[in-house]
A and B are shown apart, each in its own frame.
Chain A
Amino acid sequence: QKEVEQDPGPLSVPEGAIVSLNCTYSNSAFQYFMWYRQYSRKGPELLMYTYSSGNKEDGRFTAQVDKSSKYISLFIRDSQPSDSATYLCAMGRHNFNKFYFGSGTKLNVKP
């Protein structure tokens, strides 16, 4: 079993829709949670990070962590064609130098 599971998609939505991207994990030691956006042939860009359960909002993006269910989500409101990219979740542990990544979900927002 992979430590981090993420549906690869692709996920296709119309412009303006609310997008929900999700990851599940198996290691309860994970304490830090990150979401990245990656455009084709570019490096991943850090969108959101959090280290606690609950919601964190930044503009159109909301990161949600449910540690009891080992489940994290990224919500994108009013999605735009420019949001079309692959979204990666990542997790880390305290005093641990490595990170664990999901395989990425490809999102396509249609105009």
Chain B
Amino acid sequence: SQTIHQWPATLVQPVGSPLSLECTVEGTSNPNLYWYRQAAGRGLQLLFYSVGIGQISSEVPQNLSASRPQDRQFILSSKKLLLSDSGFYLCAWKPQGTNEKLFFGSGTQLSVL
């Protein structure tokens, strides 16, 4: 069966520090991978998605970047965090060629102080 791992669960970082969040998927090949951000009490904002290694689509121009160095690994990064980067970050995946199922990781609560 397929599983998605996302870590860390909680992160507190000072303003101006770098960020690296990692997500890996097991039990599938060539998945589509996604990074979302969820502000408190609000909906999901798509940040990045990837259909293959090295292929990144950015949805929201901002202080973040994403990379996909391996087929089942997706990384969200920032060189210098802003207060406004605080939020709940979710990694997700879907099988290639399907559009009715999107599976989420457990999320990372990021607080920038």
Contacts and interface: CB of A to CB of B under 8 A. Distances in A.
Indicate whether A and B interact. Answer: yes
Given A102-B43, A104-B43, A96 B103 contact: no
B44 interface: yes
A102 B102 CA distance: 14
A32 B101 CA distance: 9
Given A41-B88, A43-B90, A101-B43, A92 B106 contact: no
Residues of A contacting B: mostly: loop
Given A98-B46, A102-B43, A44 B100 contact: no
Interface residues of B, number: 23
A94 B97 CA distance: 9
A8 B40 CA distance: 13
A45 B102 CA distance: 9
Nearest to A31: B99
Interface residues on A, range: 20 to 34
Given A43-B90, A44-B90, A99 B102 contact: yes
A94 B99 contact: yes
Nearest to A45: B104
A97 B51 contact: yes
A49 B90 contact: no
B90 A92 contact: no
Interface string B70-113: 00000000000000000010100000000111111111010000
Interface of A: 8, 31-34, 36, 41-46, 49-51, 88, 90, 92-99, 101-104
Interface of B: 6, 32, 41-44, 46, 49, 51, 57, 59, 88, 90, 99-107, 109
